[in-house]
Amino acid sequence: MTGLRIAVVQHDIVWESRAETLARLEPVVAAAAGAGARLVVLSEMFAVGFSMNVQLTAEDEDGPSTQWLLSQAERHRAWVCGTVPIRSPGEGLPYNTFVLAAPDGLVHRYRKIHPFTYGGEREAFSAGKDIITVDVDGVRVTPFVCYDLRFADVFWEVAADTDAYVVSANWPEARRRHWSSLLVARAIENQAFVVGCNRVGEGGKLTYVGDSAVVSPMGDVLAAASEVETTLLVDIDPATVAEVRQRFPFAADRRPLLRG
């Protein structure tokens, strides 16, 4: 099989309460894996919400949220991911880290490159520097986090080696149109699948309405969620990406940005 079944878990979060949220998520992840999902995607800060109270929420690289992701991946023989506030010794502020746990026990980490200054994230979190792409059952997956979606250049940088971008988010209702529009734009301009996972509910005085979606390399919305907790199940195939890029070789005309 060359395709990949993805479960996009649009879920609520108990604000700054890791134990309660993880307990709620366990049966949801189990149901997704039971439906054949090989990659289960959770939201940004999936266990605690988009909190800047890092003294309370931040954890070590092998902390409880990462261990939970690993245990879920091992139990269900699937890849499970979401972002975690992780502190590293000697590196100052913690990082908003996308953690991708593999069923064989390996962990892949991407540190959010663009902290959300408008929401105070830059004062609480350091900015990452490196993009990663991971082979997930034959599909080249590149993770990004929420605010990264606004910056097309980081998506362009790795487009040639990416079949699917996965974006975990806590994107508020006030700018929901931006979220949905940018997911489609990133798919069209890079001719890749884009998987967007956003939370629902309330936290930190903000309201979240989800709008999670999976978009095809042609910009078609293959599945979309409304304003409630739900799981999207979508099968994607890297052969579709290759076919679209061969039929419409637009990327060959892309030129480096001119500066100065």
The domain segmentation of the chain, as residue ranges, is: 4-253
Eight-state DSSP code of residue 173: G
Query: Quick check: helix, strand or coil at residue 91?
Result: coil
Residue 175 confidence (pLDDT) above 80: yes
pLDDT in tens, 137-158: 999 999 999 999 999 999 999 9
pLDDT of residue 103: 98
What residues are annotated to the active site?
44, 112, 146
Residue 90 — pLDDT band, cuts 50, 70, 90? confident
The angle at the Cα of 35, spanning 18 to 244, to the nearest 5 degrees, equals 100
Convert the pLDDT of each residue in 176-198 to its tens digit. Answer: 999 999 999 999 999 999 999 99
**For residues 86-100, b (16+ Cβ closer than 10 Å) or e, as one string?**
bbeeeeebbbbbbbb
Q: What is the DSSP string of 174-193?
A: GGHHHHHHHHHHHHHHHTSE
pLDDT number for residue 2 = 67
- CATH code, residues 4-253: 3.60.110.10
234 has pLDDT over 80: yes
Q: How far apart are CA 64 and CA 83, in angstroms?
A: 13
Q: 259 pLDDT band (50/70/90 cuts)?
A: low
pLDDT of residue 88: 86
Average pLDDT over residues 125-135: 98
The predicted-structure confidence for 157-174, as pLDDT tens digits, reads as follows: 999 999 999 999 999 999
pLDDT digits (tens, 9 = 90+) for 21-71: 999 999 999 999 999 999 999 999 999 999 999 999 999 999 999 999 999
Q: What is the mean pLDDT of residues 6-19?
A: 98
Identify which of 53, 36, 45, 35 has the alpha carbon closest to the alpha carbon of residue 13.
45
Q: Does the structure show a pLDDT above 90 at 131?
A: yes
Question: How would residue 1 be classed by pLDDT, with cut points 50, 70 and 90?
Answer: very low
